[in-house]
């Protein structure tokens, strides 16, 4: 389907995000870089949810791909920079575990929505789901770490 092709197309932009992360950290700092990626995650989700055109879906997936690439490097690098050396390994493992759990649940939720035909609009829930962790991290960055 067009939605699957847009997702594959967007994932190819992960490498661009990996290259952008250094610029964001040097220019804005760790916490601000995380906030920026969260804002773009929310924007991409709303574009994907509200606009059904192929161009808007592809644009949404491109933004998701870039943000995923940034977060793939940003979070583990941040963890290793703020944690003592002995904690770096376990923290990286825990981060990877949560990524894997997220992929697992995302796959099964997509399967339920597509296979069971829960709703013809159920895919919007899957596209909009990244808003939740983005809002949690934004809230944490603004209220727990306001000094960074």
**pLDDT confidence of residue 10:** 63
* Amino acid 43: pLDDT: 95
Residue 115 has pLDDT above 70, yes or no: no
Q: Is the pLDDT of residue 116 over 70?
A: no
Residue found by looking up tokens 């690439």 in the block: 69
The pLDDT value given to residue 1: 55
pLDDT in tens, 14-59: 777 777 888 888 899 888 999 999 999 999 999 988 887 888 888 8
Quote the CA–CA distance of 61 and 65 in Å, as a whole number: 6
Interval 71-95: pLDDT, tens: 888 888 888 888 888 887 888 888 8
Say if pTM beats, i.e. exceeds, 0.85: no
């Amino acid at each position: 389907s067009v939605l699957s092709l847009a997702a594959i197309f967007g994932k190819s932009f992960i490498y661009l995000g990996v290259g952008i992360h250094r610029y964001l950290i040097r220019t804005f700092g760790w916490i601000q870089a995380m906030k920026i990626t969260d804002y773009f995650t929310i924007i991409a989700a709303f574009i994907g949810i509200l606009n059904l055109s192929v161009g808007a879906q592809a644009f949404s997936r491109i933004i998701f791909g870039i943000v995923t690439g940034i977060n793939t490097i940003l979070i583990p690098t941040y963890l290793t920079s703020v944690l003592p050396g002995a904690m770096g390994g376990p923290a990286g493992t825990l981060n990877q575990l949560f990524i894997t759990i997220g992929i697992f649940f995302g796959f099964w939720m997509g399967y339920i929505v597509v296979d069971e035909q829960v709703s013809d609009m159920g895919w919007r829930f899957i596209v909009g789901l990244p808003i939740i962790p983005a809002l949690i991290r934004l809230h944490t960055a603004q209220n727990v770490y306001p000094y960074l």
